[in-house]
Structure 1
Amino acid sequence: MRAMSGRQIARFFQLNPDLAEVYAGDEFWERRAIAARYLSQQRLLQMLDDPDEVVRRVLAYRIPIDRLEPLISDPDREVRITVADRLPLELLEKMVLDEDYMVRHTVAKRLIPGRLFRMILDSDREVRKTVAMRLPLESIGLMINDTAAEVRLVVAERIDVEAVSPLLTDPDWRVRLIACQRAPYELLPQMLEDEDEDVRLVAKTRITNQQE
Structure 2
Amino acid sequence: MTDDAIDEAKTWLGEDIDCTSCVHQADLLPAGKCQLRRACVNDRYARRIDRFFNWNPKLANAYVAHEHFEVRAIAAKHADIFVLRGLLNDPEETVRWNAARRLPKRMILPLRNDPHREVRIRIVSLLEDAELTPMMADEDYYVRLVVARRVAPPLLSRMVDDPEAEVRKVVAQRLPTEWLLCMVNDASPAVRLEVAQRLAPDLLSALLEDPDWRVRYEVASRISPSQVSQLIDDDDDFVREVARSRSRAGGQLAREMPL
Q: Do they fold alike, i.e. is TM over 0.5?
A: yes
CA distance in 2, matches of 1:101, 1:60: 22
Alignment equivalent of 2:185, drawn from 145, 155, 160: 145
Alignment equivalent of 1:50, drawn from 83, 90, 102: 90
Contact 2:113 2:120 (8 Å CA) reproduced = yes
**More displaced stretch, 145-154 vs 185-194:** 185-194
Alignment equivalent of 1:170, drawn from 210, 232, 236: 210
Per-residue CA distance 1:116-171 (angstroms, 9 max, x = gap): 11111112222111100111112111111111111111100112323211312111
Match for residue 140 of structure 2?
Answer: 100
CA distance in 2, matches of 1:146, 1:60: 37
SS class of match (1:90):
helix
User: How far apart are 1:102 and its partner, in Å?
Assistant: 1.5
- Which structure shows the bigger proportion of residues in helix conformation? 1
Contact 2:60 2:76 (8 Å CA) reproduced = yes
Q: Please tell me whether Structure 1 or Structure 2 has the larger radius of gyration of its CA atoms.
A: 2
Query: Normalized against structure 2, the TM-score is what?
Result: 0.77
Contact 1:60 1:82 (8 Å CA) reproduced = no
Q: Which has the higher contact order (CA 8 A, sep 6+)?
A: 1
Alignment partner of 1:185 is 2:225: yes
Number of corresponding residues: 212
Contact 1:81 1:102 (8 Å CA) reproduced = yes
Query: Normalized against structure 1, the TM-score is what?
Result: 0.94
Percent identity (aligned): 43
User: How far apart are 1:192 and its partner, in Å?
Assistant: 1.1
SS class of match (2:89):
coil
In the alignment, structure 1 segments of 5+ residues that lack a partner are none
CA distance in 2, matches of 1:202, 1:150: 20
Match for residue 100 of structure 2?
Answer: 60
User: How far apart are 1:100 and its partner, in Å?
Assistant: 1.2
Alignment partner of 1:72 is 2:76: no
**More displaced stretch, 8-17 vs 175-184:** 8-17
SS class of match (2:192):
helix
